[in-house]
């Protein structure tokens, strides 16, 4: 049965953030709030965690997993970014965007798109997500919590706990967050291509 933490959405309690990160470090899978919706997350190198996310969401191997980072200083280890793409990302982050980029060799192959060798990069604008990343000291492997058969992400932590209490190790209740997934922007060819319109504005593209 999963644990359930109620963390303040503006001023996250350091004790609970530390406990949540210990669960992540012990290869736990968590549900946590972001600036767009609730998401599933685990350590980047956690193969079983990735398989659990695939099973919960019923994803195939063509799904682009996302690395959720604290800020742009972390992305060079995981993604190849040209100058124009970097400037665009800098103007849009932190925010409700997922950027698709070519992965570096630092990214485990199983996380990459099998043909395109790409990875999603995300820098959330949410105090709880940022506190988790700060305490962890590395990116989270993540995926929006959209359950099979649903069109929109889950928005209520208590409902999530009821549905997934035997499938995840921790559910963080950060109050209601967004009801839309991120806007996905493909930057592989250096020209922004909106793949999915979500809650992030596309006026700047």
In tens, the pLDDT along 122-175 reads 999 999 999 999 999 999 999 999 999 998 888 899 999 999 999 999 999 998
Is pLDDT of 87 > 90? yes
Give a yes or no: residue 204 inside a domain: no
Give a yes or no: residue 132 inside a domain: yes
- 73-85 tens-digit pLDDT: 989 899 999 999 9
Q: What is the CATH number of the domain that holds 45?
A: 3.90.870.10
| Residues 40-68, mean pLDDT to the nearest whole number | 91
Q: What pLDDT band is residue 22 in, cutting at 50, 70 and 90?
A: very high
Element (H, E) at 101: strand 97-103
pTM over 0.85: yes
- Give the number of other CB atoms < 10 A from CB of residue 105: 9
Least trusted range by pLDDT, from 30-39, 55-64, 75-84, 189-198 = 55-64
Q: Whole domain around residue 37: which residue ranges?
A: 3-196
Give a yes or no: residue 83 inside a domain: yes
Give a yes or no: residue 201 inside a domain: no
Q: What angle do CA 117, 37, 28 make, to 5 degrees?
A: 65
State the chain's mean pLDDT as an integer: 92
| C-beta separation of 156 from 96 below 8 A | no
Domain count, the chain: 1
How big is the chain by its Cα radius of gyration, in Å?
A: 16
The residue whose two tokens read 């020209």 is 191
Give a yes or no: residue 19 inside a domain: yes
Burial of 81 (0-12, 13-18, 19+ CB in 10 A): buried
Kindly give, in sequence order, each residue whose CB lies less than 8 Å from that of residue 42, ignoring residues fewer than 6 positions away. 24, 27, 28, 29, 30, 49, 50, 52, 53, 140, 141
Residue 184's φ and ψ, nearest 5 degrees, are -100, 125
Q: What pLDDT band is residue 48 in, cutting at 50, 70 and 90?
A: very high
Give a yes or no: residue 21 inside a domain: yes
Is pLDDT of 61 > 80? no
pLDDT of residue 94: 96
| Residues 103-115, mean pLDDT to the nearest whole number | 81
Q: What pLDDT band is residue 14 in, cutting at 50, 70 and 90?
A: very high
| Residues 109-125, mean pLDDT to the nearest whole number | 87
Give a yes or no: residue 185 inside a domain: yes
Give a yes or no: residue 205 inside a domain: no
5: left (phi > 0), else alpha (psi -120 to 50), else beta? beta
């Amino acid at each position: 049965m999963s644990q359930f933490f109620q963390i303040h959405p503006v001023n996250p309690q350091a004790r609970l953030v530390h406990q949540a990160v210990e669960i992540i470090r012990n290869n736990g899978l968590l549900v946590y709030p972001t600036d767009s919706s609730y998401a599933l997350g685990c350590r980047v190198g956690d193969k079983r965690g990735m398989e659990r996310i695939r099973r919960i969401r019923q994803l195939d191997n063509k799904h682009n997993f996302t690395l959720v980072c604290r800020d742009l200083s972390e992305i060079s280890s995981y993604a190849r970014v040209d100058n124009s793409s970097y400037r665009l990302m800098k103007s849009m982050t932190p925010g409700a965007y997922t950027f698709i980029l070519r992965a570096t060799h630092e990214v485990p192959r199983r996380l990459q798109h099998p043909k395109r060798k790409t990875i999603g990069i995300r820098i959330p604008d949410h105090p709880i997500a940022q506190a988790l990343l700060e305490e962890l000291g590395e990116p989270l492997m993540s995926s929006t919590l959209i359950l099979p058969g649903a069109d929109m992400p889950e928005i209520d932590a208590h409902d999530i706990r009821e549905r997934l209490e035997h499938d995840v190790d921790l559910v963080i209740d950060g109050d209601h967050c967004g009801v839309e997934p991120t806007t996905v922007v493909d930057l592989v060819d250096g020209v922004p291509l909106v793949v999915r319109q979500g809650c992030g504005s596309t006026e700047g593209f």
